């Protein structure tokens, strides 16, 4: 189902050789030039990804368990971790957020592993906070299993993750391909770790017995049944968990050897053609430990490569004026395909010609990253040629629909010299995208129809990320891309997607944002998709959404939303103004037909007033060592969030360009 595309209209913006006369035009030109200055020689863009202190805490755990790592780097990781501690002693999963128990226990443990004494005032504050919030027994499964490996928790008291799950046939309801791609890549090596039960004895003074309420000996370590509902799926899985623990204890594991071989094969296959297993931090870390548990030595090429890919996530910075000591921190993954596709699209929107050699170079780099291998997605999607794009430099098993849609939007704005090559890649990607559409008309990210809610009741599913259901933000981007490719509501897949989006709209007019924080992200993408596919601004879905955006505007003229909106609906659209979220709001208003309302003009002024002299924007809070990037990206709602270093650059540029078209006579 391939349509003929029309040549996109050239935006009425100043070209790269024509100086802009207006304030808005000059701002667009500066932002465009600054974004171009960030392009790498190979043609791509890649900003830093920031997350919470879990990255540094787990880094210390890994090297302690495997007796590896550079001592100086470990100390710098400790300093980075301690830098983000809250005044009450806890650590948060996003700046300004409430303390998180699992993260706080991880950080406390890692600090002690590095030699900080329990009497250290910072640890004393953390200890008090942890005990007030339930102690170690209340942390999540991932944290418990890491503590088990250091003798700080009992394997029998942690939820079982039996490797036998890899043996379930693909037609079976509970097979591993019915959980999200990221959980799959995290849990399979973790199941190996659970089966092998690694153990490293650490000195008592570096342990965390003091974090157990009432002392470790008297702590309640067993899982509790839900006594409110005796007959429930959760209680069924808790009972099953106890049976599995009993089988572990008496060594009734007839399929264990086969399961470990199957898990080992699965891991090794997916270490190929990727930047580490799943190309995401927790899966990569678990894979290193799992390989060692399976008997692979440090000299084995596969272990060395897994180690090397993990090490690439580290960022070393020398001392500078605001940070007098050298620093080391870890990234959760890298985002070159995503950043490049967004940057190309933003630059084209801002007037860079389609045949600009810098765009052509970026398009060439993107085409080199096209997926040509059948990954996990192919288990449920048959008879489709591989196509599409992933997020990182290399992750061949895991292309995703969102990156693919954005790459197609970018390629549509570039005139590549090898037209046939680009057209073939676009054709394959479109066919793959249509095949990945879910039954309800929307799109998830990595898998089709990954929606079995029963998996949320499994005891080890307490990381709240077991599923990959269709989302409004991805579906909105998909509609924008399909419209650019010439599709209309006369095409059945498009109309199904429209119906999904309309059904997902909230009563107040907004849409939930799965991959960005939060309703501002979902709403702007849904609006762009519906407008691109032919909705009139006067139609109720668009006008209600625009009304919600205007009501969410901050008194300073900008927009912002805290990650807390995933926990508390009253915080929807509430938060300190940020460049990226203000840009999303403006893009949403323009898509809804706003030609110059007061909220739009005030939001535009907010962006213009905060543009830095070099052309970019800052999106951080605090000063000196307390400085942290504000989170506007979502990894797993309520669990893990991301600050994209490039969001503050290319989204404001898109917004300025959109406003320049909506306000042709702006100053």
Question: Nearest 5°: phi and psi at 513?
Answer: -110, 110
Mean pLDDT within 477-498: 98
pLDDT, residue 543, reads: 98
pLDDT tens digits, 254-265:
889 999 999 999
Q: Is the pLDDT of residue 19 over 50?
A: no
Cβ 541 vs Cβ 535: under 8 Å: yes
d(CA 378, CA 385): 9
| Lookup: tokens for 257 | 């050897």
| Lookup: tokens for 549 | 């955006």
Cβ 457 vs Cβ 233: under 8 Å: yes
Cβ 343 vs Cβ 362: under 8 Å: yes
Which residues make beta-bridge pairs with 601? Answer: none
Per residue in 530-549, is it b (16+ CB within 10 Å) or e — as a string? bbbbebebeeebbebbbebb
d(CA 458, CA 462): 8
| Lookup: tokens for 177 | 């391909």
Mean pLDDT within 498-515: 98
Which band of pLDDT confidence, cut at 50, 70 and 90, is reported for residue 17?
very low
Cβ 175 vs Cβ 168: under 8 Å: yes
Percentage of the chain modeled with pLDDT above 70: 90
Q: Is 449 exposed, middle or buried (0-12, 13-18, 19+ CB in 10 A)?
A: middle
Whole-angstrom CA distances from 623 to 153, 185, 620, 626, 629 are 38, 37, 9, 5, 11
Q: Which residues contact 200 (CB under 8 A, 6 or more apart)?
A: 64, 65, 67, 149, 150, 151
pLDDT, residue 231, reads: 55
Query: In this predicted structure, which of 12-21, 296-305, 346-355 has the lowest mean pLDDT?
Result: 12-21
Given 52, 58, 339, 402, the catalytic residue: 402
Q: Is the pLDDT of residue 355 over 50?
A: yes
Which band of pLDDT confidence, cut at 50, 70 and 90, is reported for residue 142?
very high
pLDDT, residue 463, reads: 67
| Lookup: tokens for 122 | 């910072």
Total count of residues recorded for the chain: 667
Whole-angstrom CA distances from 648 to 579, 582, 591 are 6, 10, 20
| Lookup: tokens for 459 | 């005891």
d(CA 474, CA 413): 20
Closest alpha carbon to 461 in 20, 111, 140, 125:
140
pLDDT tens digits, 434-458:
999 999 999 999 999 999 888 776 7
Alpha-carbon torsion (433, 438, 443, 447), positive or negative: negative
Mean pLDDT within 393-415: 97
pLDDT, residue 387, reads: 97
d(CA 249, CA 252): 8
CB count, 10 Å around CB of 503? 11
pLDDT tens digits, 68-105:
999 999 999 999 999 999 999 999 999 999 999 999 99
User: Mapped to the 3 state alphabet, what secondary structure does 9-31 carry?
Assistant: CCCCCCCCCCCCCCHHHHHHHHH
pLDDT, residue 458, reads: 77
Between 419 and 495, residue with greater pLDDT = 495
Rounded-to-10 torsion of CA 254, 258, 263, 268: 160
Q: Is the pLDDT of residue 20 over 50?
A: no
d(CA 285, CA 62): 7
Alpha-carbon torsion (188, 192, 194, 200), positive or negative: negative
Element (H, E) at 349: helix 336-349
pLDDT tens digits, 106-120:
999 999 999 999 999
Domain extents for the chain?
23-49+439-662
In the three-class reduction of DSSP (H, G, I as helix; E, B as strand; rest coil), residue 92 is classed as strand
Cβ 76 vs Cβ 328: under 8 Å: yes
Cβ 108 vs Cβ 208: under 8 Å: yes
In the three-class reduction of DSSP (H, G, I as helix; E, B as strand; rest coil), residue 196 is classed as helix
d(CA 667, CA 663): 9
d(CA 628, CA 607): 20
Whole-angstrom CA distances from 582 to 73, 95, 522, 576, 607 are 37, 19, 13, 10, 7
402 is catalytic: yes
Number of H helices, E strands in the chain: 22, 7
Closest alpha carbon to 150 in 232, 47, 63:
63
pTM for the full predicted model: 0.94
Whole-angstrom CA distances from 258 to 164, 192, 252, 277, 412 are 8, 12, 14, 21, 48
In the three-class reduction of DSSP (H, G, I as helix; E, B as strand; rest coil), residue 48 is classed as coil
Which residues make beta-bridge pairs with 628? Answer: 621
d(CA 35, CA 360): 16
Cβ 429 vs Cβ 382: under 8 Å: no
pLDDT, residue 406, reads: 98
d(CA 350, CA 342): 12
pLDDT, residue 321, reads: 73
Q: What angle do CA 469, 52, 84 make, to 5 degrees?
A: 155
pLDDT, residue 667, reads: 57
Longest dimension (CA), the chain: 80
Rounded-to-10 torsion of CA 109, 113, 116, 118: 50
pLDDT, residue 535, reads: 98
CATH architecture of the domain 23-49+439-662 equals Alpha/alpha barrel (1.50)
Separation of first and last alpha carbons in the chain: 44
Whole-angstrom CA distances from 353 to 10, 12, 15, 194, 572 are 8, 12, 8, 55, 38
Distance of CA 84 to the CA centre of its chain: 20
pLDDT, residue 237, reads: 47
């Amino acid at each position: 189902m391939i349509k003929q595309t029309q040549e996109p209209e050239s935006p009425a913006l100043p070209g790269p050789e024509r100086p802009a006369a207006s304030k808005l035009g000059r701002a667009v030109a500066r932002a465009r030039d600054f974004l171009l200055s960030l392009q790498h020689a190979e043609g791509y863009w890649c900003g830093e990804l920031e997350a919470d202190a879990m990255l540094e805490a787990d880094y210390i755990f890994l090297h302690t368990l495997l007796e590896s790592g550079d001592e100086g780097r470990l100390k710098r990781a400790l300093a980075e971790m301690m830098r983000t501690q809250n005044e009450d002693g806890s650590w948060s999963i996003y700046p300004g957020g409430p303390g998180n128990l699992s993260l706080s226990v991880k950080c406390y443990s890692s600090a002690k592993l590095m030699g900080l004494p329990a009497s250290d005032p910072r640890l004393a504050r953390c200890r008090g906070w942890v005990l007030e919030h339930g102690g170690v027994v209340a942390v999540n499964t991932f944290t418990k299993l890491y503590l088990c490996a250091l003798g700080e928790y009992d394997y029998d008291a942690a939820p079982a993750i039996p490797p036998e799950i890899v043996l379930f046939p693909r037609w079976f309801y509970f097979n591993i391909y019915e959980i999200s791609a990221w959980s799959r890549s995290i849990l399979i090596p973790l199941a190996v770790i659970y089966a092998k039960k690694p153990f490293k004895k650490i000195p008592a003074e570096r342990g965390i017995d003091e974090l157990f309420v009432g002392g470790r000996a008297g702590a309640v370590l067993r899982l509790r049944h839900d006594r409110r509902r005796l007959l429930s799926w959760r209680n069924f899985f808790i009972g099953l968990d106890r049976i599995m623990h009993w089988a572990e204890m008496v060594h009734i594991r007839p399929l264990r050897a086969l399961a470990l071989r199957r898990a080992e094969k699965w891991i090794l296959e997916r270490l190929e053609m990727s930047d580490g297993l799943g190309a995401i931090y927790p899966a990569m870390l678990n894979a290193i430990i799992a390989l060692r548990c399976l008997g692979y030595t440090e000299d084995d090429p596969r272990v060395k490569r897994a180690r090397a890919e993990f090490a690439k996530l580290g960022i070393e910075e020398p001392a500078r004026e605001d940070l007098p000591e050298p620093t080391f921190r870890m990234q959760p993954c890298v985002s070159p395909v995503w950043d490049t596709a967004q940057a190309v699209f933003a630059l084209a929107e801002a007037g860079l010609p389609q045949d600009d050699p810098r765009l052509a170079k970026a398009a060439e780099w993107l085409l080199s990253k096209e997926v040509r291998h059948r990954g996990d997605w192919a288990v449920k999607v048959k008879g489709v040629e591989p196509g599409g794009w992933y997020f990182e430099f290399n992750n061949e098993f895991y292309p995703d629909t969102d990156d693919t849609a954005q790459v197609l939007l970018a390629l549509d704005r570039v005139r590549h010299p090898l037209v046939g090559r680009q057209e073939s890649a676009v054709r394959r990607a479109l066919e793959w995208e249509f095949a990945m559409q879910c039954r309800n008309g929307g799109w998830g990210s990595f898998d089709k129809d990954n929606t079995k809610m029963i998996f949320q009741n499994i005891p080890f599913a307490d990381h709240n990320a077991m599923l990959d259901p269709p989302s409004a933000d991805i579906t909105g981007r998909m509609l924008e891309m399909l419209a650019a490719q010439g599709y209309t509501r006369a095409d059945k897949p498009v109309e199904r997607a429209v119906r999904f989006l309309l059904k997902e709209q909230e009563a107040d007019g907004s849409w939930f944002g799965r991959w960005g924080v939060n309703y501002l992200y979902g709403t702007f993408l849904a609006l762009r998709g519906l407008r691109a596919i032919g909705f009139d601004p006067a139609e109720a879905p668009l006008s209600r959404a625009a009304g919600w955006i205007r009501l969410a505007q901050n008194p300073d003229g900008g927009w912002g939303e805290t990650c807390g909106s995933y926990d508390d609906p009253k915080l929807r659209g509430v938060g300190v103004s940020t460049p990226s979220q203000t840009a999303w709001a403006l893009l949403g208003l323009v898509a809804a037909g706003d030609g110059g309302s007061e909220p739009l003009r005030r939001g535009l002024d907010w962006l213009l007033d905060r543009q830095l002299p070099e052309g970019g924007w800052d999106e951080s809070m605090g000063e000196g060592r307390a400085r942290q990037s504000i989170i506007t990206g979502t990894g797993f709602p309520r669990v893990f969030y991301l600050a994209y270093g490039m969001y503050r650059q290319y989204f404001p540029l898109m917004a300025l360009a959109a406003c320049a078209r909506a306000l042709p006579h702006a100053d």
